[in-house]
Amino acid sequence: MEPFVTMEVIEEAAAAVRRRLADSPQVGIILGSGLGGVAEAVESATVIPYTEIPHFPQATV
């Protein structure tokens, strides 16, 4: 049985995220739409929509 997520898929997604970052972050925060207030409190945020990360599931709502 083939794994649901392969290393190739992980590497492609990670590379897409790395291309968007200026530095190597120490912390990553993934927030849902109901936590926008938390995102506003972060001083130097980089926002990467799921739609721009290969192989990430797309929102259906």
Domain count, the chain: 1
pLDDT tens-digit readout, 9-53? 999 999 999 999 988 888 888 887 788 788 788 888 888 888 999
Which is more confidently placed, 20 or 57? 20
Band of pLDDT at residue 3, cut at 50, 70 and 90: low
Position 45 scores a pLDDT of 82
The reply to whether 1 falls in a domain is no
The reply to whether 33 falls in a domain is yes
Position 1 scores a pLDDT of 62
Locate 30 and state its tokens: 């993934």
Candidates 17, 50, 12; CA nearest to 31 is: 50
Residue 44, domain extent: 7-52
Predicted model pTM: 0.70
> Is 40 strand, coil or helix?
helix
The reply to whether 27 falls in a domain is yes
The reply to whether 2 falls in a domain is no
The reply to whether 36 falls in a domain is yes
The reply to whether 61 falls in a domain is no
